[in-house]
Amino acid sequence: MIDWISVITTTITSTSIIGIIVGLLVFVFKSKISQELEKKLDQFRSQLQIIALEHQIRYTHMHNRRAEIIDNLYKLIVQTEERFTSMAAILEFPNQPSKQEKAKLASDSARELVNYFTDNEIYFDEELSNKISNLLRMLEEVYRNFQVSQDDKSGRSVDLWIDAWTKVKQDVPILKRVIKEEFQKIIGISS
C-alpha cells in the first residue's frame, strides 16, 4: 500500500525546494535587473551632469565675452563723448589742439565706436541696439552741425555750434546713462 504520509512529505518537500529555488531565481533576477537599471541610471546621471557642465561652461564663456564687449563698448562711448565735448566746447584754452584736430579725434573715436558696435551688435537685444544707434545718430548730427558751423561764416554757424554743444552736454549724457543702466543690468549690477 502506498504510504501517503511519505508521498505527501515528499511532495511538500519537493514543492518547498522548488519554491525556494524559484524564490531564489526571482530574487537573483530582480537583483540583476535592479543592478542593470541602477547602472543605466548612473550612466544617465553622468551624461546629464556632463551636458549641464558643458552648458554652464558655454554660458559662462558667453557671459564673459558679452561682459568684455560691454566693457569695451562703454569705454569707447565715454572716450567719444569726451572728444566730442572737447571738440564742441565754446571756450578754448591755450596749449590745446586746434578745433580741426579735436574734430579729427572726435571723428576717429566715433568711427571706432561705430565699427565696434556694428561688429558686436549681435550681443544686444533690439531695444538696446536701438538706444545705441540713437546715440550714434546724435553724435553724427553733432559732428555735422559742428563742421558746418566751422565752415559757415553766417550767423547760422553760431546757432549750429550752440546746438552741437547743447546736444553734447545735455542729450548725449542722458542717452549714455540709459545705455550704462542697460549694460549694468546685463552684467548683473542693479541700480
Which pTM does this prediction carry?
Answer: 0.71
Give the architecture (CATH level 2) of 66-186: Up-down Bundle (1.20)
DSSP-derived 3-state class of residue 114: helix
pLDDT value of position 145: 84
Q: What is the tens place of the pLDDT at every residue in 171-184?
A: 888 888 888 888 88
pLDDT the model gives residue 120: 95
Does the pLDDT at position 162 exceed 90? no
Give the per-residue pLDDT at 191. 59
pLDDT computed for residue 158 by the predictor: 77
Kindly list the domain boundaries of the chain, sorted by start residue: 66-186
> For residues 134 and 156, is the Cβ–Cβ distance under 8 A?
no
1 has a pLDDT exceeding 70: no
**Cβ neighbours for 184, distance < 8 A, ≥ 6 positions apart:** 190, 191
User: Which of these, 62, 81, 84, 61, lies nearest to 73 by C-alpha position?
Assistant: 81
CA angle 147, 148, 151 (to 5 degrees): 90
Residues 69-93 have pLDDT tens digits of 999 999 999 999 999 899 888 888 8
